[in-house]
Structure 1
Amino acid sequence: MTRIAFYVGSSQHLQARLLLACKLVEKALAQGLQVYIHTDQFSTSTRLDELLWTYSDLSFIPHALAPSTERGLKVLIGHDSEPPEPCELLINLSNETPSFFERFERMAEVLDQEETILVAGRKRYQTYRNHGYTLDYHQL
């Protein structure tokens, strides 16, 4: 069963959520995990794509937008396609539950203080809890 962690930032800005996702990706790569980042739309996917190249002078995160034919990538970003196998960590930046989340060992739900993001996140939290998923919560 998928382990789900909620990460709630103190900002109301998408950029802060994307930076938090970058930090989670960096941490996951240090653990050798395959990562799929699910966004709400193409513009968010491309914004995150650019940010992963530039957010830290000390890190290098090879990644691509899904679907990708590149082999050996540990990080994919997508908004309208399902990730390939293997599936270890899903980072959800959308406001909905990805239909494929149960294929993953772990999922990180990244939220901020924007009202629509919080309300949708609370609903997903309740749904996951009601279905018996192991939940962690991190207020940042």
Structure 2
Amino acid sequence: MTRIDFYILKASSAGEREMFACRLTEKAFEQGHSIYIHVADETAVARLDELLWTFRADSFLPHERLDVPDADIDTPIHIGFGEEPGPHDDVLINLADDVPLFFSRFRRVAEVIGGDEAHRNAGRERYRFYRDRGYPLEAHNL
């Protein structure tokens, strides 16, 4: 069964969720996981694509956008927003406000919740969704 972790951030500054997602992606990648990062739209894909290259001066996270033609499906990290997550079934990092329809194919789901009220409310809805379906949940207050 899919394990779901909620990472609840105190900070509500712009970009904090994305920065945390980059650090979480780096940690999962270093542990040998493949990662699919689900975002809300094309603008968020472009922003995260850039951030994965620049969030730390010494980082290298091999990733591909799934919305580009001929995306390499063997790349360990993908970013997408509407499409199926390619071959991934290991770690899903969700930055969108909804529960992705394909979440249950993953071993782990990381829900990143921002500090502002809108993100908290959307996170509460997703938490109830998972809880009501019996998924194991963990909350991490950061």
TM bucket, shorter chain: over 0.9
How far does the alpha carbon of each residue in 1:38-88 deviate from its partner, in whole angstroms, 9 at most, with x for none? 000111111010000001112100111114531431000001111112410
In structure 1, the partner of 2:61 is 61
Which 10-residue stretch deviates more, 62-71 or 24-33? Answer: 62-71
Structure 2: how far apart are the matches of 1:78 and 1:14? 20
1:82 maps to a residue whose letter is E
1:125 matches 2:130: no
Runs of 4+ in structure 1 over 6 Å off? none
In structure 2, stretches of 5+ residues that fail to align are none
Cα RMSD (Å) of the superposition?
1.2
- Deviation, 1:20, is 0.3
- Residue in structure 1 matching 2:139, options 106, 123, 137: 137
Structure 1: how far apart are the matches of 2:122 and 2:90? Answer: 24
CA distance in 2, matches of 1:86, 1:48: 18
For residue 80 of structure 1, what is the aligned residue in structure 2? 82
| 1:18-37 equivalences in 2 (<5 Å) | 18-37=18-37
Quote the residue 1:52 is aligned against.
52
Residue 128 of structure 2 corresponds to residue 106 of structure 1: no
* Aligned partner of residue 15 in structure 2, secondary structure: helix
Distance 1:119 1:62 in 2: 33
Residue aligned with 2:43, SS? helix
Partner SS state of residue 82, structure 1: coil
**Which SS does the other structure have where 1:60 is aligned?**
coil
* 8 Å contact kept, 2:65–2:71: no
Give the alignment's TM-score, normalised by structure 2. 0.94
Aligned residues: 140
Counterpart in 2 of 1:7? 7
5+ long unaligned stretches in structure 1:
none
